[in-house]
Chain A
Amino acid sequence: MDDLRLAWKNLWRNRRRTLITLAAIAVSITLMQAAHNLSFGVYASMIDRGVRAGSGHLSIYRQGYLQDRDPKLGFNPQNLAAEISRLAGVESVLPRLYLPGLAQSSRDSRGILLTGTAPVEEYRINPFLRKLPATQMIREGNLRDALVGQRLFEELKLSFGGKFVVTLQGQEGELASELLRVRGIFTSGIKDIDRSLVLVDQHRAATMRGRPQQIHELAIILKPQADERWLLDQIGRLLKNHPQLILVGWQEAMANLADAIRLDYAAQKFIFLIIILIVTIGVINTLLMSVMERIPEFGVILALGAPSWRLQRMLLTEALLLGVIGMLLGSFGGSLATWYLRIEGLDLRYFVSSSLEFGGVVFDPIMRADWDLRWMLKMAFYVCGLALLAAWYPARKAGKISPAGAMRHY
């Protein structure tokens, strides 16, 4: 307690210097926490959009399909979808087929990706389709309804209710053509998707492929608080009777998105490292200056009978106080910034005119933060620990002072 009081008093010897150092520590923590939480929120939103429109948090494929995307590698899900749906934490299970083909209107033709899905569930889950009016939804049982990407719609010069023909290769290599009607159009914001995607009922697509019961992907959407590890284990057990099937996480199924996030966060970590380095140098500077200024006084303290470790402890306590106060102030600032960025967000619409695509996923131009309390705590304690580590050299220097030599500085 005495050491703490003494350290506190020593800290305020040079009020301005201490305040500047505290500000450096606090601002760095605030910046890192706010930047991380903003990324955390944006990544979470991107992943959520990505998995709902894409592979799901977890997905099941036939072995080899992910690598080759060979339409022949389908599988019959039998009761799997129903069994997985019953597991705790599963929000939805979406069967999908992906078939490359050609779409022809009376005016033009384009290469497309015909996607077969369960329309009702897809509308509920897929963020691209949520805003569609009911009049544009694929009707259950109506196997000619198709949703067409905005660009494809324009390029084929189609109209609502207009007809177009889709031709694709069946399982045995034969060509299969089908007449479809435009039920609605959608805009994902991703040019390639808007230019090529045609969404139909899964049964229509499967029939065209010549395997009415088969799909290519079973996309599993999880609830926000789901225990992913437990689910992996449970679904893995269900797949024991299906040796030809594999279960993968979204990171593997949507490697582009996972890599893009990893790369972006690595860049951010590098910036964090620079911030931490600057703060550490600042703390070393403050404590070293404070040691150099007080050498004669340290001589007196040693002369009065303090062992050198007591001096070192005194300096480390000063650093600890700096770190703890900086950590508290910084975390308060970081929380405030996160709260603001979560409610108001960072609006990028003023800077970018078109939609923002990242890792094959469109994200909201109003970037919103989300709380990552564990990381915030970890980073705050990390910086506090660094302040303590930064005191090591000045403390070591103070520990080597000889009392008689130090007092000659008076």
Chain B
Amino acid sequence: MALIELSGIEKIYPLGHQQVQAVQQLDLRIDKGEFTVLAGPSGSGKTTILNLIGALDRPTAGEITVAGVALNRVSSRQLADFRLRKIGFIFQAYNLIPVLTAAENAEFPLMLQGIDKKIRRRKVIELFAELGIAGLENRRPLDLSGGQQQRVAVARSLVAEPAVILADEPTANLDSQRSADLLNLMQRLNQDKGLTFVFSSHDPQVIQCARRVVSLLDGRLLTDQQVQQCTI
């Protein structure tokens, strides 16, 4: 059984008196351990699909199953719990909470799970060392570079050991060197730990790095290609 399964998905947003069809009749299966990128220009539906997989939004029609959970059939509270335990998010703008330190940001999902402070801090220190940001635990986001902030965001997405990590344009705010570093890091996590990554991007560097590229246009699936080797 696929880790992520979208079948007959449609998403329509109201825009004033009009309606915008963001996703049309989409069928997609992603297996555990895949390193998939959703590629396409702005408005092609990449972020909408990530939001639907990540249970941030509900589809207008169709069925979504992620890690065995049929997202259409659960309550908002259950969706929140699903996000907490099954999904790790990495956002384009890092979206760290400015009043918290880097370590507090990273351990935030564990705090929501009610895990003891000492345990979560130990886990975050290990993760920071693994991600190359050891020693930055007590810095506030504003005192970190863009690359460092994004690594803290990666640590936050990994800390609860989710089934899927969803990354929305994760390199959009980084220069090419930092983008390459981040992609290498994610690849390593994918290969070493078997983590499932789903990206959205129109950055050729990211697209070249993926092992599966799902191309979208106007909310429709254009192509779905498997790539054997990462070319980065």
Contacts and interface: CB of A to CB of B under 8 A. Distances in A.
Nearest to B156: A304
- Chain B interface mostly helix, strand, loop or mixed? helix
Interface in A276-304: 296-297, 300-304
B52 to A, nearest CB: 9
A305 B81 CA distance: 6
Interface in B71-124: 76-77, 80-85, 87, 89, 91, 93, 95, 97-100, 108-109, 111-113, 117
Contacts of A300: 91, 95, 97
A13 B142 CA distance: 13
A310 B80 CA distance: 11
Contacts of B93: 410
A301 B111 contact: no
B24 interface: no
Contacts of A307: 76-77, 80-81
Interface string B155-195: 01000100000000000000000000000000000000000
Interface in B201-215: none
Interface of A is mostly: helix
B144 interface: no
Contacts of B156: 304
B153 to A, nearest CB: 10
A297 B97 CA distance: 7
Interface stretch (A235-243, A378-386, A401-409): A401-409
B91 A304 contact: no
Interface string A293-332: 0001100111111111010000000000000000000000
Given A9-B99, A301-B108, A304-B108, 14 more contacts: A2-B111, A2-B117, A300-B91, A303-B56, A304-B83, A304-B109, A305-B81, A305-B83, A305-B87, A305-B109, A307-B80, A307-B81, A308-B80, A404-B51
8 contacts: A2-B117, A9-B99, A296-B95, A304-B112, A305-B83, A306-B80, A308-B80, A407-B95
